[in-house]
Amino acid sequence: MIKTSLYHVTALWHGNFRAMALMLVAMFGFSGVAVAAYGNVTKDSVVDPGILKIEEKAFLGEKINYDFVLQDENGADFELGSLLGKPLILAFSYYTCDGACSVINKNLNETLKGVERWEMGQDYNVLTVSFDQHDTPATLVDFLQKAGFKDGVPSGWTMTTMREKENIVKLTGSMGFKFFWSPRDALFLHPNVYIMLSPKGRVTRYLYGGTISPVDMELAITKAMGEKIAAANVIDFVVGACYSYNYEDGKYTVNIPLFIAAGALIFGLLLIAGSFSYMKFWRVKT
């Protein structure tokens, strides 16, 4: 059994902390992280929050495996792929969490209530998946109460556990989502993020829980729909093109370069049209 703590690793290899921390994670295995609660990591372990950061550029545009089998609160099995065909908002949580996870799901529910253009279940789906291998449909039901879903989640939203526990590593890893058990705090450390998937299952955006607004979510859904543009909603995609995601602020902002380019194009076309009209006028006059 490996008894060396992450704290000791930092003392020995201070200059390469992140690399060594990731090596230790690989040694323990993501699927064994929850087991750390039972003594695999000493209580003086320290985890650098930096290694929780999602390397977005490495995963944006990547297509996930949608053959994973999930279980809902009733224990019914279904494949992740059954929720695709339209944009999917995915949130990773764990159901024995006393704080952040219930808040993440509550906030998402409130945010989606402010999305006016698209309707959950009809235009997009929402999925909450537990990354804790010890979660079951029973702990999921308890979590629904804590997260404020006493009457169940809205239509189009599914909360699940993983049927095959070893697939937790594959699913979270395919999107760059990292999590660690902290014995000192007796909880999982993980990013509070909503992951937007396109109708074909490609990662299109990471939206962080503390900053997301209904407008940001609506734009993210609109842009995720880009794989299947229909004549009826071309205007929505034109509107979506007018905004770009600002990684520094974590929000969508007006795409100023696009407006500058469009303005320059219009000015150029007007100039050309004006020149032809002027030349035609003088030819007629002479």
Taking the C-alpha atoms of residue 43 and residue 184, their distance in angstroms, rounded to an integer, is 5
97 is annotated as contributing to ligand binding: yes
pLDDT of residue 6: 34
Q: Residue 1 domain-assigned?
A: no
In the chain, the DSSP E strands lie at 69-71, 77-79, 88-93, 125-130, 157-162, 180-182, 187-189, 193-197, 203-208, 243-246, 251-254
Q: How deeply is 240 buried, as exposed, middle or buried, from its count of CB atoms within 10 A (0-12, 13-18, 19+)? A: buried
Q: Residue 263 domain-assigned?
A: no
242 is annotated as contributing to ligand binding: no
Q: Residue 72 domain-assigned?
A: yes
Q: Residue 238 domain-assigned?
A: no
pLDDT of residue 124: 97
pLDDT of residue 79: 95
Q: Residue 192 domain-assigned?
A: yes
Q: Residue 148 domain-assigned?
A: yes
Q: Residue 104 domain-assigned?
A: yes
The CATH number covering residue 169 comes to 3.40.30.10
Mean pLDDT, consecutive 10-residue segments, the chain of 286 residues?
A: 37 38 36 35 56 88 93 93 95 91 93 95 97 94 91 94 93 94 85 93 88 88 72 40 52 49 55 63 61
pLDDT of residue 22: 37
3-state secondary structure of 90: strand
Q: Residue 183 domain-assigned?
A: yes
Taking the C-alpha atoms of residue 84 and residue 78, their distance in angstroms, rounded to an integer, is 12
Taking the C-alpha atoms of residue 83 and residue 171, their distance in angstroms, rounded to an integer, is 15
Q: How open is the CA angle 37-55-121, to the nearest 5 degrees?
A: 80
Range of the domain at 156: 49-224
The model's pTM: 0.68
- How many domains, in total, are found in the chain? 1
pLDDT of residue 29: 36
